[in-house]
Amino acid sequence: MKQTCQVFMKGKYMENLQKRKFGLLTTTAMIVGIVIGSGIFFKTDNVLAAVDGSVFLGVLAWILGGIGIIFGGLTIAVLAKRDENVGGLITYCEMTWGKTLGYLAGWFQTMFYYPALVAVVSWVAAMYLSELFGWTAEGTFFGVAFSWVPAWGYPFSLTEWVVTLLIIVFLFVFNMFSTKSAGKFQSFAMIVKVSALFVLAFVGLVFGNPVEVIHFADAGLIGGGFFAALVPIAFAFDGWQVAPSIAHEIKNPKRNLPLALTFAPLLIMLIYIAYFVGINAVLSPSQVMELGNNAVSVFAQKFFGNVGYRVVLVAVVLSVLGTSNGLILGYIRLPYALGLRNEMFWSEKFAKLNLRFDIPFFSAVFTFVVSMFWLLLHFASTTGSIFMGWTMFSGMSVDEISIVLIYIFMILIYFGVLKQFFQKKVDSWVFGALFPILAILGAATAVYGGFQSPKVAVYLTVSILGIVAGLLVKPKHS
Protein backbone atom coordinates (compact mmCIF):
# COMPACT_ATOMS: atom_id res chain seq x y z
CA MET A 1 0.00 0.00 0.00
CA LYS A 2 1.32 3.44 -0.92
CA GLN A 3 2.22 5.47 2.15
CA THR A 4 1.37 9.17 2.37
CA CYS A 5 1.92 11.83 4.96
CA GLN A 6 -1.47 12.56 6.52
CA VAL A 7 -1.98 15.45 8.90
CA PHE A 8 -5.30 16.39 10.48
CA MET A 9 -5.97 20.09 9.89
CA LYS A 10 -9.22 22.02 10.24
CA GLY A 11 -11.40 18.94 10.39
CA LYS A 12 -9.88 17.09 7.44
CA TYR A 13 -6.82 15.07 6.54
CA MET A 14 -4.26 16.72 4.31
CA GLU A 15 -2.06 14.43 2.25
CA ASN A 16 1.25 14.83 0.56
CA LEU A 17 0.25 15.23 -3.08
CA GLN A 18 3.64 15.76 -4.64
CA LYS A 19 4.45 13.32 -7.42
CA ARG A 20 7.30 10.83 -7.26
CA LYS A 21 9.66 12.05 -9.95
CA PHE A 22 13.23 11.44 -8.71
CA GLY A 23 15.01 8.15 -9.39
CA LEU A 24 18.19 6.67 -7.90
CA LEU A 25 20.48 8.67 -10.21
CA THR A 26 18.85 12.01 -9.36
CA THR A 27 18.87 11.21 -5.63
CA THR A 28 22.53 10.22 -5.73
CA ALA A 29 23.23 13.27 -7.90
CA MET A 30 21.54 15.46 -5.31
CA ILE A 31 23.82 14.20 -2.53
CA VAL A 32 27.00 14.32 -4.62
CA GLY A 33 25.89 17.53 -6.33
CA ILE A 34 25.19 19.38 -3.09
CA VAL A 35 28.19 18.13 -1.12
CA ILE A 36 30.77 18.49 -3.90
CA GLY A 37 30.64 22.13 -4.77
CA SER A 38 32.15 25.19 -3.22
CA GLY A 39 33.70 23.61 -0.12
CA ILE A 40 36.43 21.58 -1.78
CA PHE A 41 37.57 24.61 -3.79
CA PHE A 42 37.59 27.35 -1.16
CA LYS A 43 38.18 25.37 2.04
CA THR A 44 41.30 23.43 0.98
CA ASP A 45 43.61 26.25 2.10
CA ASN A 46 41.71 26.54 5.42
CA VAL A 47 42.32 22.85 6.11
CA LEU A 48 46.02 23.22 5.32
CA ALA A 49 46.36 26.32 7.48
CA ALA A 50 44.75 24.53 10.44
CA VAL A 51 47.25 21.64 10.23
CA ASP A 52 50.25 23.92 9.58
CA GLY A 53 50.60 22.82 5.96
CA SER A 54 50.79 19.07 6.69
CA VAL A 55 49.20 17.20 3.77
CA PHE A 56 49.30 13.94 5.75
CA LEU A 57 47.32 15.41 8.64
CA GLY A 58 45.00 17.05 6.12
CA VAL A 59 44.27 13.65 4.53
CA LEU A 60 43.61 12.16 7.99
CA ALA A 61 41.20 15.01 8.70
CA TRP A 62 39.38 14.43 5.39
CA ILE A 63 39.07 10.72 6.23
CA LEU A 64 37.76 11.48 9.71
CA GLY A 65 35.25 13.94 8.27
CA GLY A 66 34.24 11.39 5.66
CA ILE A 67 33.52 8.79 8.32
CA GLY A 68 30.83 11.09 9.66
CA ILE A 69 28.82 11.15 6.44
CA ILE A 70 29.52 7.56 5.33
CA PHE A 71 28.26 6.01 8.56
CA GLY A 72 25.79 8.85 9.04
CA GLY A 73 24.24 7.97 5.69
CA LEU A 74 24.17 4.27 6.56
CA THR A 75 22.46 5.07 9.88
CA ILE A 76 19.89 7.39 8.30
CA ALA A 77 19.22 4.60 5.78
CA VAL A 78 17.82 2.50 8.65
CA LEU A 79 15.07 5.09 9.16
CA ALA A 80 14.66 5.83 5.44
CA LYS A 81 13.76 2.18 4.81
CA ARG A 82 10.87 2.46 7.27
CA ASP A 83 9.40 5.85 6.39
CA GLU A 84 8.96 7.97 3.26
CA ASN A 85 6.92 10.85 4.66
CA VAL A 86 7.42 14.54 3.95
CA GLY A 87 10.12 16.23 6.00
CA GLY A 88 13.37 14.27 5.83
CA LEU A 89 15.28 14.96 9.05
CA ILE A 90 12.08 16.30 10.62
CA THR A 91 10.53 12.88 10.16
CA TYR A 92 13.61 11.05 11.46
CA CYS A 93 13.75 13.22 14.59
CA GLU A 94 10.07 12.45 15.15
CA MET A 95 10.70 8.73 14.68
CA THR A 96 13.51 8.69 17.24
CA TRP A 97 12.67 11.34 19.87
CA GLY A 98 9.19 12.69 19.18
CA LYS A 99 7.43 15.65 17.56
CA THR A 100 9.08 18.46 19.55
CA LEU A 101 12.59 17.58 18.40
CA GLY A 102 11.27 17.07 14.88
CA TYR A 103 9.79 20.56 14.89
CA LEU A 104 12.98 22.12 16.28
CA ALA A 105 15.08 20.39 13.62
CA GLY A 106 12.76 21.66 10.90
CA TRP A 107 12.64 25.17 12.34
CA PHE A 108 16.43 25.39 12.69
CA GLN A 109 17.01 24.14 9.16
CA THR A 110 14.40 26.56 7.79
CA MET A 111 15.60 29.69 9.58
CA PHE A 112 19.37 29.07 9.91
CA TYR A 113 20.93 26.07 8.20
CA TYR A 114 19.65 26.18 4.62
CA PRO A 115 19.47 29.95 4.06
CA ALA A 116 23.00 30.49 5.39
CA LEU A 117 24.37 27.86 3.03
CA VAL A 118 22.33 29.17 0.09
CA ALA A 119 23.75 32.67 0.66
CA VAL A 120 27.39 31.62 1.02
CA VAL A 121 27.44 29.01 -1.75
CA SER A 122 25.71 31.35 -4.22
CA TRP A 123 28.29 34.03 -3.38
CA VAL A 124 31.09 31.56 -4.12
CA ALA A 125 29.48 30.84 -7.51
CA ALA A 126 29.37 34.59 -8.17
CA MET A 127 33.03 34.89 -7.21
CA TYR A 128 34.13 32.27 -9.76
CA LEU A 129 31.77 33.70 -12.40
CA SER A 130 33.38 37.11 -11.94
CA GLU A 131 36.81 35.57 -12.34
CA LEU A 132 35.68 33.72 -15.46
CA PHE A 133 34.42 36.88 -17.18
CA GLY A 134 37.11 39.21 -15.84
CA TRP A 135 34.84 41.29 -13.59
CA THR A 136 37.43 41.52 -10.82
CA ALA A 137 38.97 44.98 -11.30
CA GLU A 138 38.42 47.34 -8.36
CA GLY A 139 36.01 50.22 -8.98
CA THR A 140 34.23 48.47 -11.86
CA PHE A 141 30.71 47.14 -12.28
CA PHE A 142 30.63 44.04 -14.51
CA GLY A 143 34.07 45.02 -15.79
CA VAL A 144 33.17 48.62 -16.67
CA ALA A 145 34.62 51.52 -14.66
CA PHE A 146 32.10 53.92 -13.13
CA SER A 147 32.76 56.80 -10.75
CA TRP A 148 29.85 55.81 -8.52
CA VAL A 149 31.07 52.23 -7.95
CA PRO A 150 32.41 51.78 -4.37
CA ALA A 151 36.04 50.69 -4.09
CA TRP A 152 35.27 47.28 -2.63
CA GLY A 153 37.87 44.72 -3.66
CA TYR A 154 37.20 41.36 -5.31
CA PRO A 155 35.61 39.03 -4.24
CA PHE A 156 33.58 41.43 -2.08
CA SER A 157 32.86 44.03 -4.76
CA LEU A 158 29.47 45.29 -5.91
CA THR A 159 29.59 43.01 -8.97
CA GLU A 160 29.91 39.84 -6.88
CA TRP A 161 26.96 40.81 -4.68
CA VAL A 162 24.70 41.65 -7.64
CA VAL A 163 25.64 38.37 -9.35
CA THR A 164 24.96 36.50 -6.10
CA LEU A 165 21.51 38.05 -5.89
CA LEU A 166 20.76 37.18 -9.52
CA ILE A 167 21.88 33.57 -8.98
CA ILE A 168 19.61 33.11 -5.96
CA VAL A 169 16.63 34.69 -7.73
CA PHE A 170 17.14 32.56 -10.85
CA LEU A 171 17.54 29.28 -8.95
CA PHE A 172 14.46 29.89 -6.80
CA VAL A 173 12.37 30.69 -9.89
CA PHE A 174 13.87 27.67 -11.67
CA ASN A 175 12.92 25.34 -8.81
CA MET A 176 9.45 26.86 -8.43
CA PHE A 177 8.36 26.59 -12.05
CA SER A 178 10.34 23.60 -13.34
CA THR A 179 11.14 21.09 -10.62
CA LYS A 180 11.90 18.29 -13.06
CA SER A 181 14.35 20.49 -14.95
CA ALA A 182 15.97 21.46 -11.65
CA GLY A 183 16.42 17.75 -10.90
CA LYS A 184 17.93 17.13 -14.34
CA PHE A 185 20.31 20.07 -13.89
CA GLN A 186 21.37 18.48 -10.61
CA SER A 187 22.34 15.28 -12.44
CA PHE A 188 24.16 17.26 -15.16
CA ALA A 189 26.04 19.37 -12.61
CA MET A 190 27.09 16.23 -10.74
CA ILE A 191 28.62 14.72 -13.89
CA VAL A 192 30.46 17.97 -14.68
CA LYS A 193 31.87 18.48 -11.19
CA VAL A 194 32.92 14.87 -10.67
CA SER A 195 34.59 14.83 -14.09
CA ALA A 196 36.41 18.11 -13.41
CA LEU A 197 37.64 17.01 -10.00
CA PHE A 198 38.68 13.64 -11.40
CA VAL A 199 40.73 15.31 -14.14
CA LEU A 200 42.36 17.75 -11.69
CA ALA A 201 43.09 14.97 -9.20
CA PHE A 202 44.49 12.70 -11.93
CA VAL A 203 46.76 15.44 -13.31
CA GLY A 204 47.99 16.33 -9.84
CA LEU A 205 48.69 12.76 -8.78
CA VAL A 206 50.36 11.75 -12.06
CA PHE A 207 52.33 14.90 -12.92
CA GLY A 208 52.89 16.21 -9.42
CA ASN A 209 54.95 14.78 -6.55
CA PRO A 210 52.44 13.31 -4.06
CA VAL A 211 55.09 11.24 -2.27
CA GLU A 212 57.17 14.32 -1.50
CA VAL A 213 54.34 16.28 0.12
CA ILE A 214 52.99 13.48 2.35
CA HIS A 215 55.12 13.14 5.48
CA PHE A 216 53.95 10.25 7.66
CA ALA A 217 56.07 11.55 10.53
CA ASP A 218 53.50 14.34 10.91
CA ALA A 219 51.20 11.81 12.60
CA GLY A 220 52.82 12.75 15.90
CA LEU A 221 51.80 16.39 15.49
CA ILE A 222 48.05 15.90 15.95
CA GLY A 223 46.73 18.63 18.21
CA GLY A 224 44.08 21.32 18.46
CA GLY A 225 44.81 22.50 14.93
CA PHE A 226 43.95 19.07 13.57
CA PHE A 227 40.49 19.20 15.12
CA ALA A 228 40.05 22.82 14.04
CA ALA A 229 40.53 21.57 10.46
CA LEU A 230 37.35 19.55 10.89
CA VAL A 231 35.23 22.73 10.78
CA PRO A 232 36.00 23.65 7.14
CA ILE A 233 35.89 19.93 6.33
CA ALA A 234 32.44 19.71 7.90
CA PHE A 235 31.37 22.53 5.58
CA ALA A 236 32.90 20.77 2.56
CA PHE A 237 31.06 17.55 3.45
CA ASP A 238 27.89 19.33 4.45
CA GLY A 239 24.65 19.06 2.53
CA TRP A 240 24.13 15.31 2.31
CA GLN A 241 21.31 15.67 4.86
CA VAL A 242 19.26 17.45 2.16
CA ALA A 243 18.41 14.26 0.26
CA PRO A 244 15.93 12.90 2.87
CA SER A 245 13.89 16.11 2.51
CA ILE A 246 12.69 14.89 -0.90
CA ALA A 247 12.02 11.28 0.22
CA HIS A 248 8.32 11.73 -0.56
CA GLU A 249 9.23 12.62 -4.17
CA ILE A 250 11.66 9.74 -4.75
CA LYS A 251 10.56 6.71 -6.73
CA ASN A 252 10.69 3.61 -4.51
CA PRO A 253 12.32 5.60 -1.67
CA LYS A 254 12.73 2.65 0.69
CA ARG A 255 15.17 1.17 -1.83
CA ASN A 256 16.65 4.17 -3.64
CA LEU A 257 17.27 6.55 -0.72
CA PRO A 258 19.31 4.08 1.38
CA LEU A 259 21.35 3.13 -1.71
CA ALA A 260 22.04 6.79 -2.48
CA LEU A 261 22.93 7.52 1.16
CA THR A 262 25.38 4.60 1.09
CA PHE A 263 27.31 5.05 -2.15
CA ALA A 264 27.35 8.85 -2.53
CA PRO A 265 29.31 9.63 0.69
CA LEU A 266 32.00 7.05 -0.12
CA LEU A 267 32.44 8.47 -3.62
CA ILE A 268 32.65 12.01 -2.22
CA MET A 269 35.38 11.16 0.29
CA LEU A 270 37.55 9.43 -2.32
CA ILE A 271 37.22 12.36 -4.75
CA TYR A 272 38.05 14.91 -2.04
CA ILE A 273 41.19 13.12 -0.89
CA ALA A 274 42.44 12.61 -4.46
CA TYR A 275 41.94 16.31 -5.27
CA PHE A 276 43.47 17.48 -1.99
CA VAL A 277 46.63 15.43 -2.50
CA GLY A 278 46.77 16.25 -6.22
CA ILE A 279 46.64 20.04 -5.90
CA ASN A 280 49.24 20.01 -3.11
CA ALA A 281 51.48 17.73 -5.16
CA VAL A 282 51.53 20.32 -7.95
CA LEU A 283 51.50 23.68 -6.16
CA SER A 284 52.99 22.76 -2.75
CA PRO A 285 51.10 23.33 0.51
CA SER A 286 52.63 26.77 1.10
CA GLN A 287 51.53 27.99 -2.33
CA VAL A 288 48.01 26.61 -1.88
CA MET A 289 47.69 28.47 1.43
CA GLU A 290 49.05 31.66 -0.12
CA LEU A 291 46.73 31.52 -3.16
CA GLY A 292 43.63 30.64 -1.12
CA ASN A 293 40.47 30.47 -3.24
CA ASN A 294 42.48 31.09 -6.43
CA ALA A 295 44.57 27.92 -6.06
CA VAL A 296 42.35 25.90 -8.41
CA SER A 297 42.62 28.62 -11.08
CA VAL A 298 46.43 28.71 -10.90
CA PHE A 299 46.51 24.89 -10.89
CA ALA A 300 44.38 24.74 -14.04
CA GLN A 301 46.30 27.49 -15.85
CA LYS A 302 49.63 25.83 -15.09
CA PHE A 303 48.67 22.59 -16.83
CA PHE A 304 46.01 23.51 -19.38
CA GLY A 305 46.89 27.07 -20.42
CA ASN A 306 44.38 29.92 -20.75
CA VAL A 307 41.78 27.90 -22.68
CA GLY A 308 41.96 24.95 -20.31
CA TYR A 309 41.90 27.31 -17.35
CA ARG A 310 38.60 28.78 -18.56
CA VAL A 311 37.15 25.33 -19.21
CA VAL A 312 38.02 24.33 -15.65
CA LEU A 313 36.50 27.57 -14.31
CA VAL A 314 33.27 26.81 -16.20
CA ALA A 315 33.23 23.38 -14.56
CA VAL A 316 33.85 24.95 -11.14
CA VAL A 317 31.01 27.45 -11.69
CA LEU A 318 28.62 24.65 -12.71
CA SER A 319 29.81 22.66 -9.71
CA VAL A 320 28.99 25.42 -7.24
CA LEU A 321 25.71 26.26 -8.99
CA GLY A 322 24.75 22.60 -8.67
CA THR A 323 25.31 22.81 -4.93
CA SER A 324 23.20 25.94 -4.60
CA ASN A 325 20.47 24.44 -6.80
CA GLY A 326 20.33 21.28 -4.72
CA LEU A 327 20.14 23.25 -1.47
CA ILE A 328 17.25 25.32 -2.78
CA LEU A 329 15.51 22.23 -4.18
CA GLY A 330 15.46 20.72 -0.69
CA TYR A 331 15.00 23.96 1.23
CA ILE A 332 11.68 25.06 -0.27
CA ARG A 333 10.08 21.82 0.94
CA LEU A 334 10.89 22.33 4.62
CA PRO A 335 8.26 24.94 5.61
CA TYR A 336 5.83 22.86 3.53
CA ALA A 337 6.65 19.82 5.69
CA LEU A 338 6.10 21.84 8.89
CA GLY A 339 2.89 23.27 7.46
CA LEU A 340 1.54 19.79 6.75
CA ARG A 341 2.13 18.97 10.39
CA ASN A 342 0.36 22.18 11.45
CA GLU A 343 3.55 23.21 13.27
CA MET A 344 4.24 26.47 11.42
CA PHE A 345 2.58 29.85 11.73
CA TRP A 346 0.26 30.24 8.71
CA SER A 347 0.38 26.43 8.40
CA GLU A 348 -2.51 26.28 5.94
CA LYS A 349 -0.65 28.58 3.53
CA PHE A 350 2.63 26.70 3.88
CA ALA A 351 0.89 23.35 3.32
CA LYS A 352 -0.86 24.48 0.14
CA LEU A 353 0.53 22.84 -2.99
CA ASN A 354 0.31 24.32 -6.48
CA LEU A 355 -0.87 21.31 -8.47
CA ARG A 356 0.17 22.75 -11.83
CA PHE A 357 3.83 23.12 -10.89
CA ASP A 358 3.80 20.51 -8.08
CA ILE A 359 5.45 22.96 -5.70
CA PRO A 360 4.46 24.72 -2.44
CA PHE A 361 4.56 28.33 -3.68
CA PHE A 362 4.12 30.10 -0.34
CA SER A 363 6.87 27.96 1.17
CA ALA A 364 9.16 28.80 -1.76
CA VAL A 365 8.58 32.56 -1.44
CA PHE A 366 9.13 32.44 2.33
CA THR A 367 12.43 30.56 1.98
CA PHE A 368 13.57 33.09 -0.62
CA VAL A 369 12.93 35.97 1.79
CA VAL A 370 14.84 34.22 4.60
CA SER A 371 17.74 33.56 2.21
CA MET A 372 17.85 37.28 1.41
CA PHE A 373 18.23 38.06 5.12
CA TRP A 374 21.19 35.69 5.40
CA LEU A 375 22.73 37.14 2.25
CA LEU A 376 22.55 40.56 3.92
CA LEU A 377 24.22 39.11 7.04
CA HIS A 378 26.95 37.57 4.89
CA PHE A 379 27.46 40.95 3.22
CA ALA A 380 27.78 42.58 6.65
CA SER A 381 30.37 40.03 7.83
CA THR A 382 32.54 40.45 4.72
CA THR A 383 32.22 43.68 2.74
CA GLY A 384 30.62 45.48 5.69
CA SER A 385 33.34 44.58 8.18
CA ILE A 386 36.26 45.02 5.74
CA PHE A 387 35.32 48.14 3.79
CA MET A 388 32.51 49.85 5.71
CA GLY A 389 33.68 49.70 9.32
CA TRP A 390 30.98 47.32 10.59
CA THR A 391 33.35 45.87 13.19
CA MET A 392 30.64 44.07 15.16
CA PHE A 393 30.40 41.55 12.29
CA SER A 394 34.17 41.18 11.91
CA GLY A 395 35.45 37.60 11.90
CA MET A 396 31.97 36.10 11.65
CA SER A 397 31.45 33.29 9.15
CA VAL A 398 27.72 32.79 8.59
CA ASP A 399 28.20 29.31 7.13
CA GLU A 400 29.69 28.11 10.44
CA ILE A 401 26.81 29.37 12.61
CA SER A 402 24.56 26.44 11.76
CA ILE A 403 27.13 23.70 11.11
CA VAL A 404 27.76 22.75 14.76
CA LEU A 405 24.10 22.60 15.78
CA ILE A 406 23.02 20.62 12.71
CA TYR A 407 25.60 17.99 13.68
CA ILE A 408 24.18 17.95 17.20
CA PHE A 409 20.76 17.17 15.71
CA MET A 410 22.38 14.41 13.66
CA ILE A 411 24.03 12.94 16.78
CA LEU A 412 20.63 12.84 18.50
CA ILE A 413 19.19 10.93 15.53
CA TYR A 414 22.10 8.45 15.64
CA PHE A 415 21.53 7.92 19.37
CA GLY A 416 17.84 7.44 18.55
CA VAL A 417 18.65 4.59 16.15
CA LEU A 418 20.93 3.09 18.81
CA LYS A 419 18.07 3.34 21.32
CA GLN A 420 15.74 1.56 18.90
CA PHE A 421 18.29 -1.24 18.52
CA PHE A 422 18.25 -1.85 22.28
CA GLN A 423 14.44 -1.71 22.13
CA LYS A 424 14.69 -4.46 19.47
CA LYS A 425 13.06 -2.25 16.83
CA VAL A 426 16.17 -2.66 14.65
CA ASP A 427 17.29 -6.26 14.10
CA SER A 428 20.78 -5.87 12.66
CA TRP A 429 23.54 -5.02 15.17
CA VAL A 430 25.62 -3.67 12.30
CA PHE A 431 23.02 -1.10 11.22
CA GLY A 432 21.49 -0.65 14.67
CA ALA A 433 24.63 -0.38 16.81
CA LEU A 434 27.97 -0.39 14.93
CA PHE A 435 27.10 2.17 12.25
CA PRO A 436 25.34 4.60 14.66
CA ILE A 437 28.32 4.51 17.06
CA LEU A 438 30.78 5.24 14.23
CA ALA A 439 28.46 7.99 12.95
CA ILE A 440 28.31 9.53 16.45
CA LEU A 441 32.11 9.54 16.68
CA GLY A 442 32.43 11.14 13.25
CA ALA A 443 29.85 13.84 13.98
CA ALA A 444 31.27 14.45 17.47
CA THR A 445 34.67 15.33 15.99
CA ALA A 446 32.99 17.97 13.81
CA VAL A 447 31.23 19.40 16.88
CA TYR A 448 34.50 19.42 18.84
CA GLY A 449 36.22 21.15 15.95
CA GLY A 450 33.45 23.74 15.89
CA PHE A 451 34.11 24.54 19.54
CA GLN A 452 37.67 25.51 18.60
CA SER A 453 36.34 28.50 16.65
CA PRO A 454 37.04 31.88 18.30
CA LYS A 455 33.44 32.89 17.55
CA VAL A 456 31.86 29.76 19.01
CA ALA A 457 30.17 31.70 21.84
CA VAL A 458 28.47 33.99 19.31
CA TYR A 459 27.41 31.06 17.12
CA LEU A 460 25.94 29.11 20.04
CA THR A 461 24.14 32.17 21.41
CA VAL A 462 22.55 32.90 18.04
CA SER A 463 21.59 29.23 17.60
CA ILE A 464 20.06 28.90 21.08
CA LEU A 465 18.12 32.17 20.71
CA GLY A 466 16.88 30.92 17.34
CA ILE A 467 15.61 27.69 18.88
CA VAL A 468 13.90 29.58 21.72
CA ALA A 469 12.23 31.82 19.13
CA GLY A 470 11.04 28.70 17.34
CA LEU A 471 9.39 27.41 20.51
CA LEU A 472 7.71 30.78 21.06
CA VAL A 473 6.16 30.98 17.58
CA LYS A 474 5.14 27.31 17.45
CA PRO A 475 1.33 27.04 17.25
CA LYS A 476 -0.02 26.05 20.67
CA HIS A 477 -2.40 23.47 19.25
CA SER A 478 0.26 21.55 17.29
Amino acid at site 345: F
Q: What is the pLDDT of residues 416-468, one digit of tens each?
A: 999 999 998 888 888 899 999 999 988 888 788 777 777 777 778 888 888 89
pLDDT of residue 15: 46
Residues of the chain above pLDDT 70, percent = 88
Q: What is the mean pLDDT of residues 108-115?
A: 92
Q: What is the pLDDT of residues 73-107, one digit of tens each?
A: 888 878 877 766 655 788 889 889 998 999 999 99
Q: What is the pLDDT of residues 271-320, one digit of tens each?
A: 899 999 999 998 888 898 988 878 888 888 888 888 888 888 898 898 88
pLDDT beyond 90 at 262: no
Task: Give the three-state DSSP class for 396.
Answer: coil
Domains of the chain (ranges, CATH numbers): 19-473 (1.20.1740.10)
Query: Which has the closest alpha carbon to 59: 380, 256, 364, 281?
Result: 281
What is the per-residue DSSP string for 334-393? Answer: HHHHHHHTT-STTHHHHT--BTTTTB-HHHHHHHHHHHHHHHHHHHIIIIIHHHS--GGG
Task: Give the three-state DSSP class for 87.
Answer: coil
Query: Which has the closest alpha carbon to 154: 393, 316, 386, 323?
Result: 386
Q: Is the pTM of this model over 0.75?
A: yes
Q: What is the pLDDT of residues 329-358, one digit of tens each?
A: 889 988 998 888 888 888 888 888 777 777
Mean pLDDT (the chain, rounded)? 82
Q: Which of 169-183, 189-203, 386-400 is predicted with the least confidence, judged by mean pLDDT? A: 386-400
pLDDT beyond 70 at 217: no
Q: Are 126 and 163 in contact (CB under 8 A)?
A: yes
Q: How far apart are CA 111 and CA 155, in angstroms?
A: 26
pLDDT of residue 10: 43
Q: Are 175 and 334 in contact (CB under 8 A)?
A: no
Query: Which has the closest alpha carbon to 199: 189, 207, 188, 211?
Result: 207
Cis (ω within 30 of 0) for the bond into 436? no
